[in-house]
Amino acid sequence: MKLQDILTLDCTLCAIKGTSKKKLLEIISETAAKKFDNIDTHQLFESLMAREKVGSTGIGNGIAIPHGRLTNTSQVIAVLLTSEQAVEFDAIDNRAVDIIIALFVPEENCQQHLDTLQSIAQIFSTKQFAKQVRKCQNSQELFTLIKHAKR
């Protein structure tokens, strides 16, 4: 599944004020919770934090792809967030993160989950694309950029 197929405008957040990894993950969880009928903000946040405890999802170049597996849903939800200021994320290159693409996926769909992560990594594989993302001034502009991404 491609990011372009699962991202919605209401889950695209541009230039968010967040001062920490925890705060940004809370904002992502609050945003995603509006899309689920039976999963609340706390459950979503805990699923992201459980994955972060295994190892940081900061993939380098100021980008992180936190993801949580959920047991009681068949929905796949993506949240894209850019932050006004980069925050420490324990990324593999030790660089602070200002682009976060979060995924919430059903626990039993491992292959779909991996395919979606690969799609996201491909979209953000060039520094040029990340620069375009960082230049977006509002959520609509950011959403449109992702929808028209070539990967």
**pLDDT tier, 110 (very low <50, low <70, confident <90, very high otherwise):** low
3 state SS of 127 = helix
Which residue did the predictor score with more confidence, 121 or 23?
Answer: 23
- CA dist 114 and 76 (Å) reads 12
Residues with Cβ < 8 Å from 22, sequence gap 6 or more? none
148 is catalytic: no
Mean pLDDT of 118-123: 87
Q: Are the beta carbons of 38 and 106 closer than 8 angstroms?
A: no
- What confidence score (pLDDT) does residue 151 get? 58
Number of neighbouring beta carbons within 10 Å of residue 19: 12
Amino acid present at 130: A
Asked if pLDDT for residue 118 goes beyond 90, the answer is no
pTM reported for the whole predicted model:
0.93
Among 42, 67, 113, 148, the active-site one is 67
Question: Cα separation of 27 and 22, whole Å?
Answer: 9
Percent of the chain predicted with pLDDT > 70: 99
Short-list 75, 70, 88, 73, CA closest to 24: 88
Residue 29: what residue type?
Answer: S
Render pLDDT for 56-93 as a digit per residue (tens, 0 to 9): 899 999 999 999 999 888 889 999 999 999 999 999 99
The amino acid at residue 53 is K
- Rounded CA gap, 27 and 32, in Å? 9
